[in-house]
Structure 1
Amino acid sequence: MLDISPIHAFQDNYIWVMSRPNQPHCLLVDPGDATVVNQYLQQTGKQLLGILITHHHADHTGGLAQLKQQWPEVRIIGPEAEQHKIPLLTETVADNSIIHFPELNWHCQTLQVPGHTAGHVAYYSADVLFCGDTLFSGGCGRLFEGTPAQMLQSLQRLAHLPSTTKVYCTHEYTLTNLRFACEVEPDNLDLLDYQQQSQLKRQNNQETLPSNLALEKKINPFLRCENIALQHKFKQSSALELFTYLRAAKDQFKS
């Protein structure tokens, strides 16, 4: 059984850790801060085997130099298209690359999901998705380097994974995202119920993540742009036009 747990970093980042009970190794996803990772490794006695990087932003890569110094044999895997911005990568991946970690009996497939950044990748393995800053619970990433068409296509690609897929994104943005989603669909009962559940979790200092794709397709406005009723409501004539409109509106949204 693979254990996946978050290490809290900065204000709202999650560094995901994968390990197995009674095995010494662990994998990390997007370690922006080495200090909190080292605290985890010291507390658990785990050995750092590999690191998966989704994109080049510093809050996802800032811990690499120190971790590489402390664990010189660590595998650091990230997008080939952003290798020039992540010089510490030891392995690069493109679309549909397969990565094996035999020590943990685990493998994953990479998916190119440009939009937030030009070379952003996600990692998928048997109902587990590490999607960085592409898909959030109730939302999606800002378009820093890509186009609305690219991001919509990336989100649609993720949405076609099995509905049971657990969504491990890297920020605790859920409540803010849901406030915007409720502006878009104030009568969406699934959304209102999920908002209430998420509020209770945060009040109890619990993570709202992982989410899952079945839920996200019911409540996330950026996965619902093909909904004709929503297109009519906002006077948009296509999924792309609605996505572009909603992404711009979210950028200006004051929660």
Structure 2
Amino acid sequence: MAENKASADENGASAYTEGVPCWVDAQLSDVEAGKRFYGELFGWTFEGGEGTEGGEGGEWTWARLAGEPVAGLVRKTDGRMPTVWTVYFHTPDAAALGRRIREGGGQLVTTPHPVADLGSTALAADPQGAVFGLWQPGRHPGFGRRHEPGSFGWAELYTPDTEAANGFYGDLFHDALFGPGADPDVGRAPVSGVFPAEMPAHFLVHFDVADCEAALGTVARLGGRVQVPPFETSYGGVAVVTDGQGASFALLQR
């Protein structure tokens, strides 16, 4: 971990700068199918969670890589909910950040609420409708591993107005994005550069892989599909895929 993003305390927890991506989860209709898909794709192992996640009270599961937490799989309790990966940004005070989001023209989809003793969470949307999560840590600080194959590597905001997005997130998370020594794990790009122009604004979670082509083959074999074939970015080679239930994410080869 870069020193400006997180530093280990005496208990091994991490203190992230506000606005650094610190967790991801997937809302799925079939968590067992998700475990089979992502377990084979990324080498994850799984164990049951505790409390609730996402404010819906659904069953959820830790995904681990080499024993460390890297993601959550959450059972949807309402079929109308989207099947989607969500990125969560660290905050020391979710309620205060929620107020700033509303003042900046965004909205809270769910108000901050506790997840057992793990921390507090909320869902928010920016002024253009892109949904993201807030995480105020308790016992769970966030990723145990990242920036290595099988773990979180990047989050890209695809939006119709990158200038407006820079203003909104720059006000919320200035130090994480633009402060001295900042090395952010999140970027902004126009929707039309990769997706159809009519696609809504959204965050796309990226997972690092050692070999993108091999990973694409595994995705296809497991019942997923390629949404956007491999293309080059400033942060590596990327391909956008969906799992067997339709949740989109990206494969990132550095």
Tell me the TM-score normalised to structure 2 length. Answer: 0.28
Larger strand proportion of the pair:
2
TM-score by length of 1: 0.28
Structure with bigger helix share is: 1
Higher RCO structure, 1 or 2 (CA under 8 Å, sep 6+): 2
